[in-house]
A and B are shown apart, each in its own frame.
Chain A
Amino acid sequence: RKEVEQDPGPFNVPEGATVAFNCTYSNSASQSFFWYRQDCRKEPKLLMSVYSSGNEDGRFTAQLNRASQYISLLIRDSKLSDSATYLCVVNAGGYNKLIFGAGTRLAVHP
């Protein structure tokens, strides 16, 4: 079993749509969770951290369910500029070691 598993994608959605990505992780001792965004042929960049109580940043909402070891990202009112690969990332413990999922590709079309 992979340490971090994500929806395979790709997700093709029209502008304005709401889209949700799911992620599960295997290490119950993980303490920190993130979503990174990676544009085509670019480096990953932090999109947002994921907190236990859930958190929102504009059109983006992240949720964490520790009991189910499940993380989600909801994007509302999709924009063309949201087209990218979204990486689910889990801290594997000591010294800020991160484990990345394979990513889910999102393509937003007019």
Chain B
Amino acid sequence: EAGVAQSPRYKIIEKRQSVAFWCNPISGHATLYWYQQILGQGPKLLIQFQNNGVVDDSQLPKDRFSAERLKGVDSTLKIQPAKLEDSAVYLCASSPLSRRQAYEQYFGPGTRLTVT
């Protein structure tokens, strides 16, 4: 079974530039998550989709971050404009459909973003 795919794996941009990350979840997984992991910290949830609807974006900095999941499959996360503090690994994860149940989340390899 193919895992969660992400691209690009690495990205270096200057502050105030824009960047976009792409994620393809495991086939059949209805729930998709985007996390930000800053060096030395655990992953922090940015946004969670159930199919193509947002169920939690409470920690997404909406003035600069946006995400979409068209057709309930692939997803993109965008940062515009980037700040130095956005330097982190952006992890995408997916899990089967959940309604107040805890399922294992499967993570992609992440995109390492460096903002200079």
A95 touches B100 (CB 8 A): yes
Given that A87-B42, A95-B48 are contacting pairs, would A43 and B99 also be in contact in the complex, using a CB cutoff of 8 Å? no
Report A-chain residues with C-beta under 8 Å of the C-beta of B42. 4, 87, 100-103
B95 touches A43 (CB 8 A): no
B31 touches A95 (CB 8 A): yes
Residue B17 interfacial (CB < 8 Å):
no
B91 touches A43 (CB 8 A): yes
Task: Classify the interface of chain B: helix, strand, loop or mixed.
Answer: loop
**Whose C-beta in chain B lies nearest to the C-beta of A87?**
B42
| Contact size range, A | 20 to 34
Among A42, A44, A97, A99, the residue within 8 A (CB) of B48 is A97
Chain A contacts to B: CB under 8 angstroms: 4, 31-32, 34, 42-46, 49, 87, 91, 93-103
21 interchain pairs (CB within 8 A)? A4-B42, A31-B102, A32-B102, A34-B102, A43-B91, A43-B110, A44-B43, A44-B91, A46-B104, A94-B55, A95-B31, A96-B95, A96-B103, A97-B45, A97-B48, A97-B56, A100-B43, A101-B42, A102-B41, A103-B41, A103-B42
